[in-house]
């Protein structure tokens, strides 16, 4: 065991030889946390609107006011003709154009259907789609208002009309704060990105420099070598977990409803899978450059296909099958469940089981390959 | 000037000597584009949900049918066991619709019937859409019930319903296909990460191996070294970019409405800039591990988060909005989406192109200056 510690000490010394390593290890997660915490708003705000109002009436003014009051839109320009709308959207100044034709108010007053036109810039589909939904919602609400005003005028007859009332309640994250969703996920993401890259390069470094031979001729056992190599990264990982948890809970005020010990225990299970992935990348590489690119190759799907940002439910069936071998997928459900829902093993056992199986599999394959390469 | 050619040649030999890394750099982007082009989308239309129908009448069944035929939900109908808490906890369903006993009876006597909807808010994106769709479906059902009940009383509403009818038109991407805006964005993201990460070890590797001394004693100037190192990578990266652009248009059918020439020209400038960042990192670090971690930090994260790739810049806090001006992917994204989807030319895109040129020139200068220090 003392040999393991010696090896781990050597690894740490080597790791910290570049003075930038230590700050990088701890600044990197903080920067990521802050970026994700503040940037990832799934709600789109300040959408630029250009209003072409040919009616210039009270009704057209109400619609424009309701758009701005909803908080999503900013009216950039008010113009007369429709022509200017096109130019404004083409240059990207405005995302949507609202065109209110002449006679808009007269149509409403006379009980007819008044038309108006929305032009949406679809080239940025996220903003475009949300802008369209918001705008249609605002207009529908105004429409509904007019209907109920009309119904009010014949109140006497409509006293007893059956209707259905939706009672909608949002659980776990009632304010729908994105940061509550992102921060727990970030624990998994940051660990995946940093630990796989570092582990994969650590072993190849010895091979590249020719010092692996020296290690082989020492009386060290193989399991000791592997353990000594990965031990520093496990420690680093736990410090980072503590850091993210601290900033998340105290700075971003993310509610932590579950059991912290359960979370830490499952973090260990997750760490084994990603350290295993790093080892696997290192057994497939001869140079650090290769190891880094291979780790990157394994990492991108881990981010994109884990459900961290892009929902798995919407992926095509074939790709959904691929996501089953992405360890982060299970860990995300676990960490979000413990954080936001406060659930325990009774709800998460399937995820835990899958994660453990996958971790064991990845770890044994990498050890097996490592042994083989070691023997060469 | 004459020194540039041998450096280029040496770098090419280096690259070609490691065919595996070359293969990874060439095919990784291809693979990523195809995979993510399919996988990533924001169209949420398979929300896992369950209807708990305790009423089991014609009316409750119609409402449940409205949910399953809406196309937004993957609905399970469960009439007996009220296990929605467990299902929400485990994340098996994201929306539970609960129709209470006596639902139909209330509608028959002209009362208000209530339907409870529970939404898992931990993923705000899903939750918002889930809330929106379920209230829409219930409201629509309700207005049908209302007009039927009014009709029974002999009242027919003749006035224009709805009073306001918005005609919505989407430009540039009429079906709001996610892939049309994801693919150009992916090209920008993938190219940025692959180039920066790939070149970031180019110099530091020589430092680790001690071959940098050879260069120091040679009469090569730092800017010659920068250009000589970058050109081979620009050529490789450009080939990749052409390849994935072709895949984007031919495979994913993303419309290419603008000038290909302008796209390629901006691409070369973009790549020269991102590669210079990588080289700057390489000059400033002492170990490949640090170089690789930092290049990840300055390439992938900003290009993913701060470029407007998925998260609209306008919704970010003002400080972060200012930082986005330092992210080259931000400008390139405007250019590539403009050319692909809007078909706009240099008359609209010149500010972004100018920004890219300034950025590239600045980064190259910074890399040469930093390199001069390392060489001294």
Inform me whether the pLDDT recorded for A288 exceeds 90. no
| Topology of the domain covering A47-155 | abc type-2 transporter like fold (3.40.1710)
Of A70, A91, A123, which to mutate for an interface test with B (greatest number of B Cβ within 10 Å)?
Answer: A123
B163/A143 touch (CB, cutoff 8 Å), yes or no: yes
Ranges for all domains in chain A classified under CATH 3.40.1710.10: 47-155
Question: Which distant-in-sequence residues (6+ apart) come within 8 Å of A250 by Cβ?
Answer: none
Residue B14: predicted pLDDT: 80
Contacts of B122 in chain A (CB under 8 A): 172-173, 180-181, 336, 340-341
Nearest to B201, CA basis, from B281, B143, B138 = B281
C-alpha closest to that of A139 among B308, B167, B250, B80: B167
**Rounded CA separation A193/B294 (Å):** 12
Alpha-carbon gap: B114 to the closest alpha carbon of chain A (Å): 5
Pairing, β A114-121 against β A96-100: antiparallel
Residue in B with minimal Cα distance to A297: B28
Please give the mean pLDDT across all residues of chain A: 82
Measure the CA–CA gap between B162 and B166, rounded to whole angstroms: 10
Confidence of residue B181 (pLDDT cuts 50, 70, 90): confident
Residue A157 predicted with pLDDT over 60: no
CA distance B59 to B239: 61
Q: Do A168 and B314 touch (CB under 8 A)?
A: no
pLDDT score recorded for residue A374 = 61
Hey, what are A240's tokens?
Answer: 């980072």
Radius of gyration of chain B (CA): 29
Residue A168 CB: number of other CB atoms within 10 A? Answer: 17
Task: Give the nearest partner residue to A301 out of B35, B63, B131, using CB atoms.
Answer: B35
Class of the B47-152 domain?
alpha beta
- Of the candidates A165, A125, A257, A158, the one whose C-alpha atom is nearest the C-alpha of residue B172 is A125
CA gap A132, A150 in Å, rounded: 27
- Give the other-Cβ count within 10 Å of A253's Cβ: 11
Question: In the predicted model, what is the mean pLDDT of residues B293-318?
Answer: 82
What are B16-48's pLDDT values in tens digits? 887 877 887 778 788 888 877 877 766 677 888
Distance of CA B163 to the CA centre of its chain: 38
Chain A residues with CB-CB distance to B164 below 8 A: 63, 108, 113-114, 116, 139, 142-143, 146
Residues 6+ apart with CB under 8 A from A49: A67, A73, A74, A75, A76, A94, A95, A96, A97, A98
Residue B164 to residue A314, Cβ atoms within 8 A: no
* Structural contact between residues A127 and B312, judged by C-beta atoms closer than 8 angstroms: yes
- Per-domain residue ranges of chain B: 4-41+177-375, 47-152
CA–CA distance, B38 with B372 (Å, rounded to integer): 45
Which long-range contacts does A139-145 make (Cβ < 8 Å, 24+ apart)? A139/A63, A139/B164, A139/B166, A140/B162, A141/A66, A142/A62, A142/A63, A142/A66, A142/B164, A143/B162, A143/B163, A143/B164
Task: List % helix, strand, coil for chain A (3-state, nearest 5).
Answer: 70, 10, 20
Determine the distance from the C-alpha atom of residue A375 to the mean position of all C-alpha atoms in its chain, rounded to a whole number: 42
Q: Could you give the angle at the alpha carbon of A261 between the alpha carbons of A257 and A265, nearest 5°? A: 120
A64-96: pLDDT as tens digits: 888 888 777 888 888 877 778 888 887 778 888
pTM: 0.78
How would residue B186 be classed by pLDDT, with cut points 50, 70 and 90?
A: confident
What interface predicted TM-score (ipTM) does this complex get? 0.74
CA angle A181, A186, A191 (to 5 degrees): 155
Local confidence band at A215 (pLDDT 50, 70, 90 cut-offs)? confident
Q: Mean pLDDT lowest for which of A125-139, A322-336, A340-354? A: A125-139
H/E run at residue A51: strand A47-53
d(C-alpha A220, C-alpha A211), whole Å: 14
* pLDDT above 90 for B356: yes
3-state per-residue secondary structure call for A129-170: HHHHHHHHHHHHHHHHHHHHHHHHCCHHHHCCCCEEEEEEEE
**Strand partners of residue A117:** A99, B167
Give how far Cα B154 sits from Cα of A151, B105, B108, B112, B293, Å. Answer: 15, 21, 16, 20, 74
């Amino acid at each position: 065991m003392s040999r393991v510690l010696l090896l781990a000490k050597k690894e740490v010394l080597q790791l910290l030889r570049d003075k930038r390593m230590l700050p990088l290890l701890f600044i990197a997660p903080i920067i990521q946390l802050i970026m994700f915490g503040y940037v990832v708003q799934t709600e789109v705000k300040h959408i630029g609107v250009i209003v072409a109002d040919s009616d210039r009436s009270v009704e057209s003014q109400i619609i424009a006011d309701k758009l701005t009051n909803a908080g999503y839109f900013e009216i950039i320009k008010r113009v007369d003709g429709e022509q200017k709308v096109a130019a404004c959207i083409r240059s990207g100044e405005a995302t949507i154009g609202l065109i209110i034709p002449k006679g808009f108010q007269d149509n409403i007053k006379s009980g007819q259907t008044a038309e108006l036109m929305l032009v949406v810039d679809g080239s940025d589909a996220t903003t475009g789609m949300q802008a369209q939904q918001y705008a249609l919602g605002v207009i529908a609400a105004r429409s509904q208002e007019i209907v109920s005003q009309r119904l009010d005028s014949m109140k006497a007859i409509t006293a007893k009309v059956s209707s259905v009332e939706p009672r909608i309640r949002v659980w776990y994250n009632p304010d729908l704060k994105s940061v509550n969703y992102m921060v727990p996920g970030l624990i998994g993401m940051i660990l995946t990105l940093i630990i796989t890259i570092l582990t994969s390069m650590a072993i190849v470094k010895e091979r590249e420099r020719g010092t692996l031979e020296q290690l082989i001729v020492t009386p060290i056992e193989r399991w000791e070598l592997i353990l000594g190599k990965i031990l520093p990264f496990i420690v680093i990982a736990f410090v980072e977990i503590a850091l993210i948890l601290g900033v998340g809970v105290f700075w971003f005020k993310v509610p932590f409803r579950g059991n912290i010990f359960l979370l830490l225990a499952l973090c260990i299970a997750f760490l084994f899978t990603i350290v295993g992935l790093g080892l696997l990348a290192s057994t497939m590489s001869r140079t650090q450059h290769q190891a880094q690119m291979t780790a990157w190759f394994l990492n991108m799907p881990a981010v994109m296909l884990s459900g961290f940002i892009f929902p798995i439910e919407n992926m095509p069936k074939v790709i959904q099958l691929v996501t089953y071998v992405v360890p982060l997928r299970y860990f995300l459900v676990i960490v979000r469940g413990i954080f936001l829902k406060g659930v325990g093993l009774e709800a998460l056992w399937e995820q835990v089981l899958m994660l453990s199986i996958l971790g064991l599999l990845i770890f044994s394959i990498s050890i097996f390959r490592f042994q083989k390469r070691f023997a060469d | 000037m004459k020194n540039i050619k041998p450096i280029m040649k040496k770098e090419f030999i280096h690259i070609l000597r490691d065919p595996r890394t070359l293969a990874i750099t060439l095919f990784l982007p291809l693979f990523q584009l195809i995979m993510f082009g399919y996988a990533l989308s924001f169209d949420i239309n398979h929300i896992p949900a369950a209807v708990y129908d305790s009423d089991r009448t014609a009316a409750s069944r119609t409402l449940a049918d409205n949910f399953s035929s809406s196309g937004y939900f993957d609905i399970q109908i469960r009439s007996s066991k009220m296990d929605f808490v467990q299902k929400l906890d485990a994340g098996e369903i994201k929306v539970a619709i609960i129709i209470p006993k006596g639902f139909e009876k209330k509608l028959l006597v002209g009362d208000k019937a209530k339907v409870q909807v529970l939404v898992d808010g931990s993923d705000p994106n899903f939750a918002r859409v889930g809330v929106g769709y379920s209230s829409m479906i219930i409201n629509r059902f309700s207005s049908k019930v209302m007009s039927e009940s009014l009709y029974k009383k002999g009242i027919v509403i003749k006035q224009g319903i709805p009073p306001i009818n918005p005609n919505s038109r989407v430009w540039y991407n009429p079906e709001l296909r996610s892939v049309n805006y994801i693919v150009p964005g992916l090209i920008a993201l993938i190219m940025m990460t692959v180039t920066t990460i790939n070149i970031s070890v180019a110099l530091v590797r020589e430092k680790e191996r001690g071959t940098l001394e050879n260069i120091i004693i040679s009469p090569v100037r730092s800017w010659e070294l920068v250009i000589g190192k970058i050109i081979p990578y620009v050529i490789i990266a450009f080939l990749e970019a052409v390849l994935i652009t072709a895949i984007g248009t031919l495979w994913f059918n993303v419309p290419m409405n603008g000038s290909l020439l302008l796209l390629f020209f901006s691409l070369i400038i973009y790549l020269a800039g991102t590669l210079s960042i990588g080289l700057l990192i390489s000059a400033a670090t002492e170990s490949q591990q640090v170089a690789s971690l930092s290049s990840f930090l300055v390439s992938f994260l900003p290009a993913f988060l701060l470029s407007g790739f998925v998260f609209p810049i306008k919704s970010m806090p003002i400080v972060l909005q200012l930082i986005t001006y330092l992210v080259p992917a931000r400008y390139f994204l405007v250019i590539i989406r403009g050319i692909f989807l809007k078909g706009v030319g240099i008359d609209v895109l010149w500010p972004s192109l100018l920004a890219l040129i300034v950025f590239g020139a600045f980064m190259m200068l910074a890399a040469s200056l930093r390199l001069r220090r390392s060489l001294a």
